[in-house]
Structure 1
């Protein structure tokens, strides 16, 4: 009896010490669309099983909470570590997955013969939190317990390969954050771009006649011309936003524009733009960096791309500007059965930029999707990527969208078909600075299209708690009850002009509107502020929001009129203080420059910001 008990106990110990058998077919849903095929898409047929997909597997970052804590510490002007941005290596240390996560995912890939297969072209991000590889669609279906299909967007006939749901083995759920491409359909052009053409193109001479002024070329004129109410130029923005500054630290400071969807910035159009609106910069130009097979077709200029680069460089010359052309489509051999495979572009950009030793101090992006159409796992992974850029000292700005509180039928896609305001992503990410739109000059007021509202994915960050609570107090208890998430991250954070921008496209000038104009405008102001700080021996501003809500708002023009209708309502109203239409307001560069180089202390005294070279970093571990 004793012998049997001993044998049994030894068996139990041996069993406990033996690694558990991993079941790769014990599936649990990772993400699924309740309504099946998203609106606007139709199924063409099953994905060719041999078609190779460029797959990214996101591993859970073991210290992401520590990274976010560091981000807030170096971004809070009242913290002793303000401005001590993390290095690339420090961010990578905080982004590294737990060894158990890496081991389990490698076992999973080995089970399918993918870990050391030359055909898979497996690569890892610097910190190991992303694994990229090429996998046949049929094999990926086995790994994720799903079926991939070819889908066509009915309005644009764009095709891609996606699934409406996918699973992961239960053992991997705590270790894998997202697998792409999977359930993120996105919206192909032109819906993604937050800009729109207001008038047909004219020649430069015709537009100059319309302006009716000879001093439109004065880059630093500070009298706002009446024509600026109908046609915005760099001189209008300089006058309206009190910009009178020539960049000095052009070897250290730079600005980046992220472009997607085959939108190409054109060198020839920029020269014409400068000839008409800023002759002193006529020899200025921008760099182009192509990412993930992004193109550079100079015979096909894009309205969005030209708008962005003409106004960032038009306001910041001679600061180096870089246009990032992001494709997100892997190489493929087209035939009758193989469609193009548009990959998730934000991840392509983040993969590239976070791997660079030097990154622009300011980055602007003018694209977005309805938040509810972006899978939460994907949104969180992308948002964390922007947090990493902020931690490294880059100010990341996004346009807030052009549909007010929501466009279309404003129905939820969770199977309940409730009417609800529709927030925009990545504008709703708490680690970016979101820019709404205004128009007019006397007074400046909220543009009717200015996107704004509250996230359903991301909770309200502490930096805006008081400002948002104050706004909600103006609404009353019954206004729009149930139409928005009052505890969510509120956006936009700031605003800038968004109508009547004069943009050269294909040699002609168009009047262009949208928060796509607002984001590059505010980004240009931030870039000039970064130049002023760097020239004074100070670090770049980095993640702006904690500073904006505690001190930066003192250098903004509060917008108190206008609203952003949508979803069959008048939307929110612009009020004193923060509001989900124009945020904290539009820039006054002169005041902002004083704030970023100096600061007002208790008692009204002004002192210089302290400088910490960060040579000793005992706080990082």
Structure 2
């Protein structure tokens, strides 16, 4: 769609929103999908073994195909941490596009996979005429809230159900407006007196479908949110380096299509992994380089090292000077999720983002319990002194656009970023 303003107003108006949406009603742009070919389990036999210190070596092989909170807590070393600042620390989950988190399904999930959390729940906040239809459980919403609470319990969790639709430029892969109204959500959050110290969002769009003025406004507001002490995670996408690989600027240029808001330099983008002992990159993990936003200084050294090793591979298909993502990664397939009372296996970097955010929420809990401030905007920390707190993922790739995409290797890469979190190492680094 297009919008027009009188010339006299141009220098005074940064972005026009909201706009009217005439697209489909349920075209999801959440970064998740049901794995119909992967197994499901009705309970977690691994939970009983979490009675003492755990390490990567003790994570059972079953976690390679069926992920549960116990798997993730062991894999990322949070099993023995008991939250101590639950009167202050909050974890926020952003939801869009009529995706509703179901409370009955959460209780069933707890009964099967986190029994000590039974009878606890979350708060829903409605933003911009968002809904909360408990008869219509959403795959994405349930995945998000079940795994943020499943890892962070008893931390307070808030689910934000946001309605509306933003400005939109169609491309070959997205011909109707299924983009998310991030600006409406941000305006609401930034107007609150108290806000969560950690946020996760499992939605994303082709960067080129987001008008550059809207993307810039939204990205700058994420910077404000980070400056207020919040750490902001976004899933990096589920199409590798791109599935619809044609520019929408009229030239039909063949190229890798970056995702937004993962491409915003003021959020922490989370890619995906699979398997344990060791973890490897999952093939759909979104990653690449922004066409809108310049490469920030905090990552210039890490990205330069990667590009030097890359040489001429994929030359001309991406913007070498753009903001590079993802920043980090976490498991992204085989998540056991209760939907309408039944367990399904769900995958996508929308599983990775709430997982990583839950680990960060526990780190924020630790900081607050020690009388310190929350971590806030994470990226300058994780690309410097925090880099040693991650498990480097050195194999796997994210093919797309009829190419092999990028390959995970030593150090940062645009498949798994700096790697997956080790809570205990990060805890010692931020203490």
Taking the TM superposition and a 5 Å limit, the aligned residue runs for 1:412-561 are: 412-476=247-311, 478-561=312-395
What SS does the aligned partner of 1:567 have? Answer: coil
Cα distance change, pair 595–389 in 1 and its aligned pair in 2 (3 A): same
1:185 Cα offset (Å): 8.9
**2 CA distance for matches of 1:305 and 1:375?**
26
Taking the TM superposition and a 5 Å limit, the aligned residue runs for 1:230-241 are: 230-241=65-76
Match of residue 325, structure 1, among 158, 161, 172? 161
What SS does the aligned partner of 1:407 have? Answer: coil
**2 CA distance for matches of 1:591 and 1:514?**
26
Q: Which ranges in structure 1 are unaligned for 5 or more consecutive residues?
A: 1-162, 331-340, 598-621
Q: Which has the larger radius of gyration?
A: 1
What SS does the aligned partner of 2:14 have? Answer: strand
Q: Which ranges in structure 2 are unaligned for 5 or more consecutive residues?
A: 167-176
> Contact 1:452/1:581 (CA < 8 Å) preserved in 2?
yes
Name 1:193's counterpart in structure 2: 30
> Contact 1:496/1:518 (CA < 8 Å) preserved in 2?
yes
Correspondence 1:582 to 2:416: yes
Taking the TM superposition and a 5 Å limit, the aligned residue runs for 1:335-374 are: 345-374=181-210
> Contact 2:179/2:204 (CA < 8 Å) preserved in 1?
no
Name 1:592's counterpart in structure 2: 426
**1 CA distance for matches of 2:25 and 2:194?**
31
> Contact 1:502/1:510 (CA < 8 Å) preserved in 2?
yes
Q: Deviations over 1:458-485 (max 9, x none)?
A: 0000000100000000111x21111000
> Contact 1:436/1:581 (CA < 8 Å) preserved in 2?
yes
**2 CA distance for matches of 1:571 and 1:202?**
28
What SS does the aligned partner of 1:179 have? Answer: coil
The answer to which structure, 1 or 2, has the higher relative contact order (CA under 8 A, 6+ apart) is 2
**1 CA distance for matches of 2:8 and 2:143?**
48
Taking the TM superposition and a 5 Å limit, the aligned residue runs for 1:34-183 are: 163=1, 165-181=2-18
1:551 Cα offset (Å): 1.1
Match of residue 396, structure 1, among 228, 232, 237? 232
**2 CA distance for matches of 1:202 and 1:571?**
28
**1 CA distance for matches of 2:164 and 2:180?**
6
What SS does the aligned partner of 1:178 have? Answer: coil
RMSD: 2.2
Name 1:377's counterpart in structure 2: 213
Match of residue 257, structure 1, among 87, 93, 103? 93
**2 CA distance for matches of 1:179 and 1:446?**
39
Cα distance change, pair 471–343 in 1 and its aligned pair in 2 (3 A): closer
1:166 Cα offset (Å): 3.1
Q: Deviations over 1:320-378 (max 9, x none)?
A: 00000111279xxxxxxxxxx99952111111111000000000000010001111011
TM-score (norm. length: structure 1)? 0.65
Task: Name the structure where strand makes up a greater proportion of residues.
Answer: 1
Q: Deviations over 1:398-445 (max 9, x none)?
A: 00000000013x011111111100100000000000000000002100
Match of residue 306, structure 1, among 127, 142, 145? 142
> Contact 2:272/2:330 (CA < 8 Å) preserved in 1?
yes
Cα distance change, pair 577–187 in 1 and its aligned pair in 2 (3 A): farther
What SS does the aligned partner of 2:158 have? Answer: strand
Q: Deviations over 1:43-71 (max 9, x none)?
A: xxxxxxxxxxxxxxxxxxxxxxxxxxxxx
Q: Deviations over 1:185-223 (max 9, x none)?
A: 9997444110000028999xx633xx6x36468487722
What SS does the aligned partner of 2:15 have? Answer: strand
1:174 Cα offset (Å): 2.2
What SS does the aligned partner of 2:323 have? Answer: strand
> Contact 1:287/1:323 (CA < 8 Å) preserved in 2?
yes
Cα distance change, pair 569–329 in 1 and its aligned pair in 2 (3 A): closer
**1 CA distance for matches of 2:178 and 2:255?**
29
1:289 Cα offset (Å): 0.4
Name 2:112's counterpart in structure 1: 276
Cα distance change, pair 188–514 in 1 and its aligned pair in 2 (3 A): farther
**1 CA distance for matches of 2:179 and 2:68?**
36
